[in-house]
Chain A
Amino acid sequence: MTDASCTLPMLRCAECGRLDSRQRVICTSCLSSRLLEQAVSGEGRLVTLTTIRRAPTAWRDRAPYRVVVVDLDAGPRVTGRLSPNAPEPTLGDRLQLLQVEGQDLVFGPETLID
């Protein structure tokens, strides 16, 4: 496998330090608008997953695909997808981020990395 781990661009509040997604214009903790870009590790643990077999129109040609919820080691919980190449994981397994396009996050098992 040649998939490489990547980091996740996020925002950290310059006032209170809260880490949140890039889809924010103010800090949800302290309302500050001083949010600084920060890339965090894409490594984390699988919380839960489902295989979507009946997909919305825009996703139909990709179905079936697996949606995952991951608790990143850096703190935040995120929603993403599991790489089609990844074997079926068990809840609690270690995962890492393989690809980021906007908020489309693709995860795979750590073992995919050499």
Chain B
Amino acid sequence: MREVSIVGIGSTSFGRHAGTPIEHLGVQAAAQALIESGIDREQIGALYLGNFISGPLNGKEVLAGLIADQLGLPNIPCTKVEGACASGGIAFRHAVLAIASGQCDAALVIGVETMTHAPTAQTTAALNCAMDNEHDGPSGLTFPGLFGLAWRMHAQRYGTSREQVSAVVRKNKRNGLHNPLAQMGADLTDEQIAASAAICDPLQLYDCCPASDGAAALVLVARERASASAGGRPLPVDVLASVQTRGSARIAGHADLCSFSATVSAAQQAYAQAGLSARDVDLVELHDCFSIAEIIDSEDLGLVPRGAGGRWAHEGRTDLGGTVVINASGGLLAKGHPVGATGVAQIHEVVRQLRGDHPNPVRNARIGMTHNLGGTGVACTVSLLGARG
């Protein structure tokens, strides 16, 4: 298998893009990535597009082909992949595989979603398609509800407190304030978080990511074609590992509701693939769809000792300047979560860090990680990226 590098990135801001067709967001992000890469469109051998619910919310499918049309791509395979919130991460992995296997030398990855135009009831119904509706749907469970179930257990087993979880919210909202791509950065107090509306006990409004519109894109090439620094372009960032795993689609299929087995196995495989350990990771963009998810993910990825996720966040050890920097972008909580775009946008953020070009810089960052989790933990991708130079 050949090694793969990232040579171009692009992104729209995350937030409300009212009236902008979903294709246009994808096209804007992709055009940025293509132009930055300097790769001619004729050399792009495949497009993988991460998107979850363009059908139910926009009445549009064959989205990869629709976007390829507007980008003027050649007659290459253009494929939409879907894995709920992990759609973007899965699209990235497929592009990595296409290059690694020799099917093509360059590939384009796009992640895109638009959600804010739809009534909340319609969005909720569409998102709930990512649940096992033969088993969990009939109980009236929601996605915030799933994380309410997990939080309750985490609190019981490890003593995780409201204050510790609020530290995650405050950190990510604060990081979002300095990220121009972020939808809702804020300077929050514990009191404001604790006073926000109850959603699904113990989750409150500030514990939940917003509905968002946005797109991100990447150009990948075979590493032997990624020249050190051609024509003043940014240095390539190398893909050291790209892993996708499956977990249970049912709540009842999870042996431990304080952990997602798909994350644990994806992280273990990624470390093995890259010949690295959790200690080597300088920063991670992980799937904080809800505040408690960041705590669980940080433990599942091996970055924080099991059960200590809340304490580490509260002690600032996951903040900028901490032991391992988690979600310097603001994460899903503050940057936003245009579902299919998220996995691609996480890689966009890490690439900027590894190039030394990020509004919330992690000093001397060499190794970055991304973690994208879909549905009830049914699909997961983990990537490890390395800086050049």
Contact = CB atoms under 8 A, between A and B. Distances in A.
B292 to A, nearest CB: 11
Interface in A71-86: 76-81
A48 B149 contact: yes
A52 B125 contact: no
Interface in B134-148: 134-136, 138-142, 144-145, 148
B261 to A, nearest CB: 14
Contact of A79 (B151, B201, B202, B252): B252
Interface in A26-75: 47-57, 59, 62, 65, 67-69
B118 interface: no
Interface residues of A, number: 30
A91 B140 contact: no
A80 B135 contact: no
B134 A103 contact: yes
B198 interface: yes
Nearest to A50: B148
Nearest to A77: B252
B199 A53 contact: yes
A104 interface: yes
A49 B147 CA distance: 10
Interface string B146-168: 00111111001000000000000
Contact of B140 (A21, A52, A76, A77): A52
Nearest to B257: A48
B269 interface: no
Given A69-B257, A79-B136, A80-B139, A50 B201 contact: yes
Given A47-B153, A48-B153, A67-B149, A54 B144 contact: yes
Interface in B176-202: 197-202
Nearest to B151: A50
Given A49-B149, A50-B201, A69-B251, A56 B138 contact: no
B201 A53 contact: yes
B139 A79 contact: yes
A2 B125 CA distance: 35
Nearest to B119: A57
Given A57-B125, A69-B251, A69-B257, A50 B135 contact: no
Contacts, number: 95
A54 B142 contact: yes
A105 interface: yes
A52 B141 contact: yes
Nearest to A104: B138
Contacts of B257: 47-48, 69
A49 B153 CA distance: 8
Contacts of B121: 56-57
Nearest to A105: B139
A79 B128 contact: no
A33 B152 CA distance: 38
A78 B257 CA distance: 13
A102 interface: yes
B250 A91 contact: no
Given A50-B148, A51-B201, A54-B144, A79 B153 contact: no
Interface string A1-40: 0000000000000000000010100000000000000000
Interface string B233-263: 0000000000000000011110001000000
Nearest to A63: B140
B124 interface: yes
B57 to A, nearest CB: 15
Contact of A78 (B151, B197, B198, B252): B252
Contacts of B140: 52, 55-56, 59, 62, 65, 67, 81
A102 B136 CA distance: 12
Nearest to A101: B138
14 contacts: A48-B150, A48-B153, A48-B156, A48-B257, A54-B142, A54-B144, A57-B121, A67-B149, A69-B251, A76-B252, A77-B252, A78-B252, A81-B139, A105-B139
Interface of B: 121, 124-125, 128, 134-136, 138-142, 144-145, 148-153, 156, 197-203, 250-253, 257
Given A50-B149, A105-B139, 14 more contacts: A48-B156, A50-B145, A51-B201, A53-B200, A54-B197, A56-B124, A67-B139, A68-B139, A69-B149, A79-B136, A80-B139, A81-B140, A102-B138, A104-B138
Interface of A: 21, 23, 47-57, 59, 62, 65, 67-69, 76-81, 91, 102-105
